[in-house]
Amino acid sequence: MNLWLLFLVIPVALALIAFWFDPKRRAKGNLPPVYGTIPVIGCMTEFSKDPIATCLKVNRETKSDIFTLHMTGFNLTMLVGSEANSAFFKATDEELSQKEAYKFVTPVFGPGVVFDTPPALFYEQIKFVKNGLVASSLKKYVPIIEAEARNFFAKNWKGKTGELDFLYDMNKLTIITASRSLIGQDIRNDPKVQEEFVDLYHDLEGGLNPIAFFFPYFPIPQHWRRDRARVRVTQIFKTFIKARRSRPESEPVPEDMLENLIHSEYKGGVPLDDTTICGLLIGLLFAGQHTSGITSSWTGFFLLKHPEYMQEVLQEQREIIKEHGKEINFDTLRKSIKLENCVREALRMYPPLIILMRKVQKDIYYRDYVIPAGDLVGVSPGYSMRMPEIYTNPNTFDPHRFDPERAEDKKVPYAYIPFGGGRHGCPGENFGLMQIKTIWTVMLRTFEFEFGRQGMPVPDYTNLVVGPTQPAWIKYKRRDVPLDEQ
């Protein structure tokens, strides 16, 4: 263990020394206020415990909406507030590069996809993904997600009552429902493959850790498991692709993301190769599983903490059932406005991605400050969406802030950014909301809930994607009569 730490500390210390005595950087001009001057670690210890509290503290101390955090040899310049967020999201790729900031995810997705591509190919690949997530596709995914959710609960939530790690089950359920929707029946043909697939994604998830941010190929067990998992997932996907390509013309054409990518072409008519298709599927499922599982969990915990809102969403379900019957479809989900507002409020309170980053490609200027090329610049959804000048009582769970007469999320540009913003906004936003609402509609109609043994969980900031600290216990009780049969 000491040897691993030695290999980690030495390059960090050298990088810090190189930065600390860099005369070129100091000659750039008026740099933003700096926080974290402790040699080597800067403010990393404080930041890793609670990044939002750290940003709030620095913002108050510097009285500035721009400041630089020194952390283990690198600089992260934070922009906070509506005006600062606008500067971040409106910057060009030549100024602020998303690709360069997120290269550490390449070992998870694989080479040649998304952040490991030139900008032109990056945007084409994102377009291919968006084409598979249009409204007509989402309508087809709803019954699939409902069926998979009901099957999951029948198989795993046995008996009349039980207690379980809610985040663990929501992560598992979201990868099952997303993979079945986007990859099709292929993933369900062999139950062993589906179970293996869930475990493989858990290993991929372990590959996104604080060490990976600095050294994505550092030889530690989490990275070895990540690499083995990516190879195996790619093998599984290529088997599906091969079967699709050899499908008889007489068989119906599947309507899912896999089929969409198989028939996608770059400009000039060049089709995607199998490895690229696999990488895009890995990235899409990986991003969705993280955010949807975490948000589903927080939604439940906040509804339990605020039973008045639980009663509102239950009453909304009763009214939808009365007017439209018990079928869950795209149109009835759109009428679940109170439920969606609870999901959106959970995302505002605890967004899974608390820092969005770009790498500065050339010196940029904000107010009277220069942010030097080579630094990282970031905005914080977790901080921005709790600013009192935008949100009333920002630390209180209040879904009604999204009601049309209040619409606090629309007060200023980029006030609500759990899915990012601008040209780099998350292409899976609509799918994620639809997936969460479908799962929660099934749960509301089938179960009653109460807190488990730990009560309301707290955020776990030791992970790059922040969710409730595990185990996050919740108790369920199967309804004597389902809500849609009352």
Could you say which architecture CATH assigns to the domain 2-485?
Orthogonal Bundle (1.10)
Question: Tokens representing 464?
Answer: 């790059």
Q: CB burial class (10 A; 0-12, 13-18, 19+) of residue 457?
A: buried
Question: Tokens representing 359?
Answer: 């790498």
pLDDT value, residue 29 = 64
Q: How far apart are CA 403 and CA 426, in angstroms?
A: 23
Share of the chain above pLDDT 70, in %: 93
pLDDT value, residue 37 = 66
Q: CB burial class (10 A; 0-12, 13-18, 19+) of residue 143?
A: middle
pLDDT value, residue 40 = 64
Distance of CA 441 to the CA centre of its chain: 21
Q: Which of 307-311, 332-336, 428-432 has the lowest mean pLDDT?
A: 428-432
Taking phi first (over 0 means left), then psi (-120 to 50 degrees means alpha), and beta for anything else, what does residue 17 get?
alpha
pLDDT value, residue 112 = 87
State the Cα angle at 223 between 222 and 224, rounded to 5°: 95
Q: How many CA atoms lie within 13 A of 114 on its CB side?
A: 25
Q: pLDDT class for 213, splitting at 50, 70, 90?
A: confident
Q: pLDDT class for 295, splitting at 50, 70, 90?
A: very high
pTM of the model: 0.89
Reply yes or no on whether the pLDDT at 396 is more than 90: yes
Nearest to 50 by CA among 482, 467, 459: 459
Mean pLDDT of the chain: 87
pLDDT value, residue 155 = 93
Which stretches of 263-306 are DSSP H helices?
Answer: 274-305
Q: CB burial class (10 A; 0-12, 13-18, 19+) of residue 456?
A: exposed
| Residue pLDDT, tens place only, 342-375 | 999 999 999 998 889 999 999 999 988 999 999 9
Average pLDDT over residues 83-92: 90
Looking only at the bridges linking them, the beta strands covering 74-79 and 66-71 are antiparallel
